[in-house]
């Protein structure tokens, strides 16, 4: 269950983290990405097209084409991906959906959510894909191993 981001945003983060573990500017097919993160190829392509428009991902057509990071992983922050897919409204609105929630007129969880929201925004703004590269590789390998031993293809 997602708490802050849409499922599309979560998958975009996973797809871009997958691309970050590849060689910079080396095209990877949507099929490979979809198989590695376990989502349909069509959905992967749609997400990647959104990321192309934002300048995070690039693409090449043809037999050796595919998707790649449009700039070095050290220059792409997690917040860039979140902003491209979901926007940053979640960091500025009431988590319970109350209109006019503010410090003057707080909702029941205003103070607690405000602290969590600020910490999440700080972390997403500070962390780059490069910093998460090795953890991403380890996670992908663990998923592959689990899928092989359980007989799953995803």
Q: For a pLDDT cut of 70, what percent of the chain falls above it?
A: 90
Residues facing 77 on adjacent strands:
128
* Residue 75: HSE in the Cβ half-sphere, 13 Å Cα cutoff: 8
What pLDDT, on the 0 to 100 scale, is given for residue 1?
A: 36
- HSE-CB of 154 using CA atoms within 13 angstroms: 4
> What is the biggest distance separating any 2 CA atoms in the chain, rounded to whole angstroms?
59
Which residues lie below 8 Å from residue 22, measured CB to CB, with a gap of 6+? 28, 68
Summarize pLDDT for 58-99 with one digit per residue, the tens: 999 988 889 999 999 999 999 999 999 999 988 888 888 899
B/e letters for 79-116, b = 16+ CB within 10 Å, e = fewer, are bbbbbbbbeeebbeebbeeeeebeeeeebeebeebeee
Is the pLDDT reported for residue 151 higher than 70? no
Residue 2: Cβ within 10 Å count: 9
What's 128's DSSP letter? B
Q: pLDDT value at position 3?
A: 66
Domains of the chain, first to last:
7-87+128-144 (1.10.10.10)
Q: Would you say residue 106 has pLDDT above 80?
A: yes
pLDDT at residue 32, rounded to an integer: 92
How far is Cα 48 from Cα 44, in angstroms, rounded to an integer? 6
User: Which of 62 and 154 is assigned the larger pLDDT?
Assistant: 62
Per-residue pLDDT band at 23 (split at 50, 70, 90) = confident
Q: What is the arithmetic mean of pLDDT over 116-135? A: 91
Q: Assign 52 a pLDDT band (cuts: 50, 70, 90).
A: very high
Provide the mean pLDDT of the chain. 87
């Amino acid at each position: 269950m997602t708490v802050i981001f849409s499922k599309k945003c979560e998958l975009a983060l996973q797809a871009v983290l997958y691309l970050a573990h590849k060689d910079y500017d080396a095209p990877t097919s949507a099929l490979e990405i979809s198989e590695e993160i376990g989502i349909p190829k069509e959905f992967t392509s749609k997400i990647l097209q959104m990321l192309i428009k934002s300048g995070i991902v690039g693409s090449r057509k043809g037999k050796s084409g595919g998707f790649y990071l449009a700039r070095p992983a050290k220059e792409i922050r997690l917040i860039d991906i979140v902003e491209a897919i979901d926007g940053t409204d979640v960091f500025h609105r009431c988590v319970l959906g109350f209109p006019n929630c503010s410090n003057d007129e707080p909702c029941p969880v205003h103070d607690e959510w405000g602290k969590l929201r600020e910490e999440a925004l700080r972390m997403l703004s500070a962390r780059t894909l490069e910093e998460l590269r090795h953890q991403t590789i380890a996670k992908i390998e663990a998923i592959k191993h689990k899928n092989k031993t359980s007989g799953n293809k995803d």
